[in-house]
Amino acid sequence: MKMILAVIQDKDSPKLTQNLVKAGIRATKLASTGGFLREGNTTFLIGCADEEVESVLRVIREVCRAREQLVTPLSSAAGATDSYVPFPVEVTVGGATVFVLNVERFEKV
């Protein structure tokens, strides 16, 4: 048995939830926060049989795509803020960070 932990952008969460349900894949959603952009993420916990891992990953790949987004960098707390003029920078966001872990024991109570 495997535990899949998938950290995705909040924007992708409703569509991923919908596609997981259509595929008959049960998941638990947790709200989380990303460090880099300080934006909301959703972490999905998905328990599945070893042979189901690739089909779960396929559903995640279909929904969670990387995309470009303009962000305005925050000023440095250590630097002088009177001369700081923020310019938007394009960064790649989205996609998914996925961990596949072995599960030694599983119980449903």
- pLDDT tens column, 32-48: 887 665 677 899 999 99
Model confidence pLDDT, tens digit, residues 40-86? 789 999 999 999 999 999 999 999 987 777 777 665 555 555 566 67
Q: Say if residues 31 and 42 touch (Cβ distance below 8 Å).
A: yes
* Token reading at 46: 């998905």
Query: Is a pLDDT exceeding 80 seen at residue 102?
Result: yes
User: Which domains occur in the chain, in start order?
Assistant: 2-66+94-102 (3.30.70.120)
* Token reading at 47: 């328990």
pTM: 0.77
